[in-house]
Amino acid sequence: MGNGGIMNRRHFLGLALSAATAPVLAARQNHTPRILSLRNLHTSEQIEITYRIGDCYQRDALRKLNRFLRDHRTDEIAVIDPKLFDLLYDLQRRARRPDGEFQILSGYRSPRTNAMLRRRSRGVAKHSLHMSGKAIDLHLCGCSLSTTRDTAISLGRGGVGYYPHSNFVHVDTGPFRTWRA
């Protein structure tokens, strides 16, 4: 090999060292918007909202969702666990209904409303996660109730209650468990 070969190797070695000591480029940031479409069956309100972009929850959107999921009987508003919105988002994706609308029967419940519902039905928990903004009763449009339940169970997160006679599925951000009413 002549001098040209040595020069090329030195040049190549220099480039390799430069690349090794250059700053590492940051991984591409996730800027994917997470959008939910909800309809409250008691108030007839409807909302389609980007609640999160990448890893950042959108404060204004969360405030709007807190109001949307208020106790419709008392008009009380509570902070809803943002993980509940992530659960809904993942549920619609896994069910292959990325643009599917959730029909909402119950979001936040005040202690007063929960006590009243408990007197009417034995299916209402005394310490319901609805009272802490960690539960929602829903139906995913375009998806059978049993498929919605099975899909929620397959996520392996939170509680999943199946209420076929009342036409809704309960999901929450508590410990994983399932039940049928």
The domain spanning residue 51 has which CATH number? Answer: 3.30.1380.10
Q: Is residue 3 part of a domain?
A: no
Q: How many domains does the chain have?
A: 1
Residues of the chain with pLDDT under 70: 1-29
Task: Please give the backbone phi and psi of residue 29, each rounded to the nearest 5 degrees, phi first.
Answer: -80, 145
Whether 9 is in a domain gets the answer no
Output the pLDDT for position 18. Answer: 45
Q: How far is Cα 10 from Cα 151, in angstroms, rounded to an integer?
A: 59
Q: Write out the residue range of the structural domain in which residue 156 sits.
A: 27-180
Could you tell me the sign of the dihedral formed by the alpha carbons of 143, 79, 157, 181, in that order?
Answer: negative
19 within some domain = no
Yes or no: say if 84 and 173 are a contact pair by the CB < 8 Å rule.
yes
Length of the chain: 181
| pLDDT for res 173 | 98
pLDDT of residue 98: 86
Three-state SS for 169?
A: strand
pLDDT at 14: 46
Alpha-carbon span 142 to 132, nearest angstrom: 29
Round to whole Å and give the CA distance between 45 and 4.
Answer: 76
| Residue 4 belongs to a domain | no
Does 123 map to a domain?
A: yes
**Is residue 158 situated within a structural domain?**
yes
Q: Determine the pLDDT at residue 123.
A: 81
DSSP letters spanning 59-70: HHHHHHHHHHTS
Q: What is the pLDDT of residue 121?
A: 85
Residue 164: the pLDDT is 96
Single-letter amino acid, residue 96: R
Give the pLDDT confidence score for residue 154 in this predicted structure.
98
| Residue 152 falls inside a structural domain | yes
Per-residue model confidence (pLDDT) at position 28: 62
pTM above 0.85, yes or no: no
Q: Is residue 7 part of a domain?
A: no
pLDDT for res 91: 98
pLDDT in the model for residue 144: 96
Query: What whole-number distance in Å separates Cα of residue 126 and Cα of residue 105?
Result: 18
